[in-house]
Chain A
Amino acid sequence: MSAVPNKMPFDPGRAAYVTLNVVLLGFLLAPIAIVLVFAFNPTPYISFPPVGVSLRWFDKFFASSDFMNALWLSLWIAACVLVLAVVIGGACALALARGNLPGRGFFTAFFMSPLMLPAILTGLALFQSYLLVGIGRPVWGLIMAHTLIAVPYVLRTTLAVLHNFDRRIEEAAAVLGASPLRVFFEVTLPLIRPGVFAGGVFAFIVSFDQFPVSLFLVVPKGETLPVVLFNYMKFDLDGAIAAASMVSILLALAVVLVLERLIGLKAYVKL
């Protein structure tokens, strides 16, 4: 298809194809752009077209102790999840790729399965377990739940890097007399670092934006930001939500840029 358009000055079929795709991209991106508009729109209700530019919703968002407590809790949980998921997921990826384990395919599928099962059921199952054991709903329980959902992301990005690198580099280091430990710290670890980092960034976002797993596991006054936003939206639809959304979106965009810098986005096309 690539060589054909050059020969013809105008190709209606090709034009329709590109137009259709641009429209579809618009469908994907327009809602996000609209959130941006409402975050800066000064009216107390969602009105369109916007009547001006103001920062009052950002003021309201950052001045509200409910929102701020939730924001800090979410950031704190996401940071814990990032560390845990990177350590657990990274180690697991190494074991799967380098451990000569029998049943490797089974284990990989098993560790990926939290992504495929409904997250709300994972939340429900954990809620019932905590209830059964009688430990209530502690923050560490929420952190472990998020870690469970985040590990597959770290596993996927790290495995992608491990599969693409030449094992002979490690073998060469070993042949030249490096101990296994030294090979690991001086060869393997630096080489897989981008994959682990990328997975960590995903883990952070997955936890920060997590709703279904958190739903049953948060306590009143100890809710994460998505849960607070959800409860707020049931009764109010003002710009404060848009401002909160903007904060989340900016965070996500920053993450996408970081990801692209680290290992390129191409690794994620292979779902």
Chain B
Amino acid sequence: MDRRIVLRHDAEPMAAASRPSPIAWLIAPALLLFVLFFVLPFGVMAVMSVFSGNPVTNPNAFLTTRHYMRFIADDAGIFHDALWATLRIGLVTTVVSLLIGYPLAHWMARMQSRLGHVLVLMAVIAPLLTGIVVRTFAWMTILQDKGVINTTLMSWGLIHKPLPLMYNEFGTTVALVHIYVPFMVLTLTGVIGRIDERLEQAARSLGAGRLRAFVEVTLPLSLPGVLAGSLLVFALSISAYVTPSLMGGTDVLTLPMLIAQQVGTSFNPNFAGALGMILLLVCLVIVIAYNKILARLSGEKGLA
């Protein structure tokens, strides 16, 4: 820590005064990749969303707002429901992830033993590295009618017919929480770890109970982290596709599922583009808020 502060201290005036060095050219390949395969494609998506067809191959394609109008009018009565379902699932997933992630993050941040810290960290990161499809499969084996929970409860005679744990929003949310909790834990651990433990100790030596010291000192100080983690999990869960489409059955229809339907079965890439722009808009608002909070947190802008 010390070294870093000293370094930044003498490096900064230099950096401000001198011009870009030749090393700056190394940014070129990344810039090219991002312009060609990221900026332009999102531009294409925006253009497609306001055309009636493919403007390159189809000379009769014309400018139109009908895809957005179709979403707004919602004659079939499914688009608005899909949007609300997406936001609802995202919100519940976020709140539950926070309730599960906070204790874990607090435990990890305050853990004295290095080995314990590494073990918990591995336990948190391991699911993160196992892929969404695999983790969704795991939850299907647990929650389905003949799954682990229902079979066990029935063999104990506690229930006589399987509980409806899957093919609904409940199952979708459970699996999504499991998939995104690691992001919450990692965000929160960093923030809680930076809170000086002595603040809490001071509160306690002044007579506050452990719970009160936590609620009045540590919790308020960790709120920016709570917000950042929540925004991240929300952004991730509203764009989930695999889990809702496998765990939701016919009960759940979210915006990403609707997009995949438009591309796969209806083959209407223009309407898919409009749906994509709507999802993008929601996400951009969240991402900008997240970056603002993170920048204020670390004091060093944009260094995620």
Contact = CB atoms under 8 A, between A and B. Distances in A.
State the majority secondary structure of interface residues on B.
helix
Q: Determine the main DSSP class of A at the interface with B.
A: helix
A89 interface: yes
Nearest to A94: B26
| Contact-residue size bin, chain A (C-beta under 8 Å from the other chain) | 35 or more
A94 B276 CA distance: 34
Interface in B201-219: 201, 210-211
A88 B146 CA distance: 48
Given A108-B302, A129-B44, A253 B103 contact: no
A31 B127 CA distance: 9
B269 A128 contact: yes
* Contact residues on B (Cβ < 8 Å of other chain), bracket: 35 or more
Contacts of A212: 132, 239, 241-242, 256
A48 B148 contact: yes
Indicate the member of B27, B36, B146, B152 with the most A CB atoms within 10 Å: B27
Contacts of B132: 209, 211-212, 226
B126 A253 contact: yes
A112 B304 contact: yes
A148 B239 contact: no
Interface in B164-205: 178, 181-183, 186-187, 189-190, 193, 197, 200-201
Contacts of A128: 41, 44-45, 48, 269, 272-273
A233 B201 CA distance: 52
B56 A134 contact: yes
Interface string B8-51: 00010001001111111111011001101110111011001000
A24 B103 contact: yes
Given A34-B148, A101-B27, A121-B239, A268 B125 contact: yes
Contact of B210 (A13, A27, A49, A117): A13
Contacts of A248: 130-131, 134
A155 B122 CA distance: 22
Contacts of B136: 233
B141 interface: yes
B146 A47 contact: yes
Q: Which 4 A-B pairs have the closest CB atoms?
A: A118-B239, A99-B24, A209-B131, A31-B138
